Structure formats: C-alpha cells, structure tokens
Structure 1
Amino acid sequence: MSTTSHDHHVYVLMGVSGSGKSAVASEVAHRLGAAFLDGDFLHPRSNIAKMSAGQPLNDEDRIPWLKALNDAAFAMQRTNKVSLIVCSALKKRYRDLLRDGNPNLSFLYLRGDFDLIASRLKDRKGHFFKPQMLVTQFEALEEPGADESDVLVVDINQPLDDVAASAIALIENN
C-alpha cells in the first residue's frame, strides 16, 4: 500500500475552539468540491448527553468517538479525492488514533494565538463567549512538533478567504 497520495486524501482541520475549523472546512470543501464531515456528528449518545449536561469529556469518553472518526476517514479516502474532517485533535494521542491505518491522512492545523481567537469569539453574533473555555482549550493543546510531519500549519491571522486559500495551497502542494 502506498504511503501518501495526492488523490484520495483526508485532511483533518484541527485547532482550538474558535480557530475557524468549520468555516474554513466549509469554504475549502465548496471551492474544491471536497467531502466534508463535522466530527461532532459522530459523538456517541453518551458523549452528547454528558456535554449537554455541562460536563466535559475525558480521554476515555473520546476514544470511541476518535475510533468512529478513524473509520469515517478510512471510508472517505476510499471514495473521495479530497475529504475534510473537522476535529480539534488537540492532543498528540488523539491525532495518533486518527492516523492509525490511514496513511492518506494529514492535518491542517489552524494556528492562532489566544488574543486573536478570543477577539473573534467575542465578535461572533449570538455566541456567548466564555473566556475560561478558551483557556481550557489552550491548556489541552499539544502543539504538533517536528515529529508530526503530516501536520500542515495554516496561519489564521488573516481574513477567512485568505485562510481558505492558504489551506487549499497546502492541499494542492501536499
């Protein structure tokens, strides 16, 4: 089996809440005609119930969800030239679970600093911004290092159209 191919590749848009994962994925999917899956749709009922009750998920809660995302990535890369999955994938072990058995999977890390993302969250219409939630996200984030060569970094300190164009350029040159 080949290691990586330009065709039939899955890109996981990762980053903290508020980094623009869904907006960027939607725009990139539209421009490229790519398949797009919001990873939150694959949470098991128990996780949805827990989050609805205001309880944070722990690593044990996330394992069945990450395995479902891994299976979705496997299926998507078999049927689509380019597929996008939105998943924060904040920890290396989460990324490793997504990689397992999916050699045609890469990550697009939407990287921005705390102040930039906090200001964007405050500006969202109809969104109640809780600064502590963002603090928690940054505390959980294990930034990809040099050992994760399948992670492509997108600077989000630019307008959405430019972030999407940067992501597309990375996809086309990967």
Structure 2
Amino acid sequence: MANTKIFVLMGVSGCGKSAVATQLAQKLNAAFLDGDFLHPRANIEKMASGQPLNDDDRAPWLGSLNDAAFAMQRANPVSLIVCSALKKSYRDRLRVGNPNLAFLFLQGDYEVIEQRLIARQGHFQKSGMLKSQFAALEVPGADETDVITIDIDQPLDAVIEQAHQAILAQE
C-alpha cells in the first residue's frame, strides 16, 4: 500500500471537482467516487428540502468517506474522491488512518466560479449557496502539507493537466 495514493478533489461548489475528477480518472485509469453518493438518507432528504447540513449531519458522511478512502487504497494504485472538504476539521477526519491521502484544492475566486455557474446553467439564481460555500471555506494553510492548490482560473484542459502532473509528482 505504500505506493497507493488517494486524492480528494476539494473546493466550493462549481469549482469543477467532478469535471476534473472524471477526466483524471480516465487519464490515470483511477478509481473514482463522488462523495455525495455516500450521504445518508437523512442528509439527502434534508438537502432536498432546502435545509443546509450542519457539522453533526456531516459526521457520519465523513466517516463513510474515510472508510471508502481506506478501502479504495487497498485495491487501486490511484483513487480519486470528490468532496468539498471545506473545513480543516473535515479534511482532518478524512486523513485519519489514511496516510496515503492528499488533497487537490481547486481554488478560484468568487467571480470566476460565479461566471462558470452562470455559463453552465444558463442563469445563476443560487448566489446564496455560493456565498455560503465561500463563507464555510477554510482555505488550507501552510500547515496542511498534503494539500496541492490548483488555480482554476484557466481553461479546463489546463486545470486537468496541472492536476495530472501534480498526481504524477506524488507517485
């Protein structure tokens, strides 16, 4: 397992986590998991009713993601997990027992992400959601040495290539 690696693609909604992870998984022949699929039913129902999740709601979900990361590294040389991981405490929870885990932080400023959401959806009405994502984001500091920051203010292909090179450099 020493040469296996799990990369969590993190960042606010709309930063391109799923698009980047999908392409990276193909390039690297890597396992890929969208972390949203592991939310318990209660969380899905709460979000569907328009209520935001709190840290207590996220605790079992982060536990499931931690377990999934552990299992994935046992079966795959490279695994990718999409998870916003906005708070340091969330990232710390994912790290527990997973020493081969690192983060790819898809970082972009509010205006860049807002414009992408507008372009992607044709119109953008959920500005409150984006604002709350940025309000919750705890930007990884220098103490989080397992976080690789990727600037998303460039074409998607360039973001994917930068992420690809970052992964190759970790192997």
Q: TM-score range by the shorter chain?
A: over 0.9
Correspondence for 1:131: 127
Equivalent-residue separation in structure 1 for 2:131 and 2:17 (angstroms): 18
Give the drift of 1:87: 0.2
Q: How many Å separate the matches in 1 of 2:125 and 2:152?
A: 19
Q: What is the DSSP-based 3-state SS (H/G/I as helix, E as strand, rest coil) of the residue aligned with 1:154?
A: strand
Deviation at residue 20 of structure 1 after TM alignment: 0.2
What is the 5 A alignment of 1:155-170?
155-170=151-166
Name the Cα RMSD after superposition.
Answer: 1.2
State the match for 1:90 in structure 2: 86
- TM-superposed deviation, 1:127: 6.5
Aligned length: 170
Which stretches in structure 2 are left out of the alignment for 5+ residues? none
> Are the counterparts in 2 of residues 25 and 36 from structure 1 also a CA contact under 8 Å?
yes
Identity of aligned residues (%): 65
With the length of structure 1 as denominator, give the TM-score of the two structures.
0.95
Contact 1:29 1:36 in 2 (8 A): yes
Matched, 1:115 2:106: no
- 4+ residue stretches of structure 1 with deviation over 6 A? none
CA–CA distance in 2 between the matches of 1:161 and 1:53? 35
Residue 103 (structure 1) aligns with: 99
Deviation by residue 1:103-145 (Cα, 9 ceiling, x = unmatched) = 0000000000000000000111366541111111000000000
The structure 2 residue matched to 1:42, chosen from 35, 38, 43, is: 38
Q: Is the 8 A contact 1:121 1:129 kept in 2?
A: no
Which residue identity does 1:119 align to in structure 2?
Q
Q: Superposed, which structure 2 residues align to 1:52-63 within 5 Å?
A: 52-63=48-59
Amino acid at match of 2:148: L
